[in-house]
Structure 1
Amino acid sequence: MGVWQLLMVGGVMLLGLLGVVAPGVPGPWLVWAAMLWWSLHEQTGAAWVLLVGSTAVLLVNQVIVWLLPARRLREVGLSRRTAAYAGAGALVGFFLVPVVGAVPGFIGGIYGTERRRLGGHGQAKAATRAVMRAGGTSMLVELFGCLLVVGAWICAVTTA
């Protein structure tokens, strides 16, 4: 594999890492697709082992991400209505302020719903913080799994 292809694979992996923290971007899928592309072009034993290992890590990572926030979000009292308004806020924010506006729109949707439900600014602010902390844990778990895969790839490329 040439230098330009390695740079492209690394760029897609970097985009995947950034996608973990950006709403709506499938970060782990991009990291895995880059690993698949690299493994298919390298076709060495180490490349195949790395592909299988990264697949296992990212699958376990997704299971943890699916289980962890659902339980934590239920504990803080997130309703389906709040989640729907948060998603709608993210969508509106995405189009009002392209890409970057999705995050404030998401937070604004949570805050607006909680303010209407709870009545006061202080209570709505506390509920919004609790929801963001519960969701932030899943983002950190997902980022850690992707960083493991990217780190293993960097080690394999630099030692080969």
Structure 2
Amino acid sequence: MDLTDTQSTLTLVCALAILIGTVGVVVPVVPGLVLSWAAVLVWALFSDAGWGRWLVLFIATFVALAGTAAKYAWPGRRLKQSGVPNWSLVAGGLLGIVGFFVVPVVGLPLGFVLGILLAEWVRQRDLKPAWAATWHAVKAVGLSMLIELAAALIIAVTWVVGAMAA
């Protein structure tokens, strides 16, 4: 690959951005799905891949929008059915942010779980149902991450097929 060639450099940069975006779904520091979609957008705008690049961008846009909608709707509906209130999720999110800065690497998930558990313990005054609610919230977050990861992987595969076909 000749990096003095603009198209090769563009393809490499977009590939790295898609890879970082896909990893960013699991590592919540990087806006994963947005970065993956933006890389496809940049590739479609500036590459000389022919008309197929617009098809790739259309598919990536559809997948990103559908994935984003599904990552909020599906787990949210399951949380509502289990009875976990929004303020418990907010407490988990806030303690997760604090945990991110206090305990490197594991602080975010640890703080999230602890925040929900404490909020539910205060609400229900019993540890057993509080833990059950916390477990429902953790499963919902995991489902949300899996949906977003699937969308990012579909975008990546679509882009690879489109880039190779060009």
Question: 1:57 deviation in Å?
Answer: 1.4
Per the alignment, residue 28 of structure 2 pairs with 23
Task: Calculate percent identity across the aligned residue pairs.
Answer: 36
Match of 1:144 among 150, 155, 161: 150
1:38 maps onto 2:43 in alignment? yes
Per the alignment, residue 113 of structure 1 pairs with 119
Question: 1:24 deviation in Å?
Answer: 5.1
Indicate if the aligned counterparts of 2:71 and 2:144 stay in contact, CA closer than 8 A.
Answer: yes
Indicate if the aligned counterparts of 1:69 and 1:138 stay in contact, CA closer than 8 A.
Answer: yes
Per the alignment, residue 141 of structure 2 pairs with 135
CA distance in 2, matches of 1:23, 1:78: 22
Per the alignment, residue 102 of structure 1 pairs with 108
- Letter paired with 1:40: L
Question: 1:92 deviation in Å?
Answer: 0.5
User: 3-state DSSP class of the match of 2:84?
Assistant: coil
Which 5+ residue runs of structure 2 have no aligned equivalent? 1-5
CA distance in 1, matches of 2:78, 2:30: 23
- Letter paired with 2:158: A
Structural RMSD (CA): 1.9
CA distance in 1, matches of 2:26, 2:126: 30
Question: 1:99 deviation in Å?
Answer: 5.2
Indicate if the aligned counterparts of 1:16 and 1:28 stay in contact, CA closer than 8 A.
Answer: yes
1:50 maps onto 2:44 in alignment? no
Q: How many residues align?
A: 160
User: 3-state DSSP class of the match of 1:25?
Assistant: coil
Indicate if the aligned counterparts of 2:41 and 2:57 stay in contact, CA closer than 8 A.
Answer: yes
Q: TM-score, normalised by structure 2?
A: 0.85
Q: TM-score, normalised by structure 1?
A: 0.88
CA distance in 2, matches of 1:77, 1:27: 29
Match of 1:11 among 5, 12, 16: 16
CA distance in 2, matches of 1:156, 1:50: 6
Per the alignment, residue 70 of structure 2 pairs with 64
CA distance in 2, matches of 1:35, 1:106: 32
Indicate if the aligned counterparts of 1:82 and 1:113 stay in contact, CA closer than 8 A.
Answer: yes
CA distance in 1, matches of 2:147, 2:90: 23
Question: 1:135 deviation in Å?
Answer: 2.2
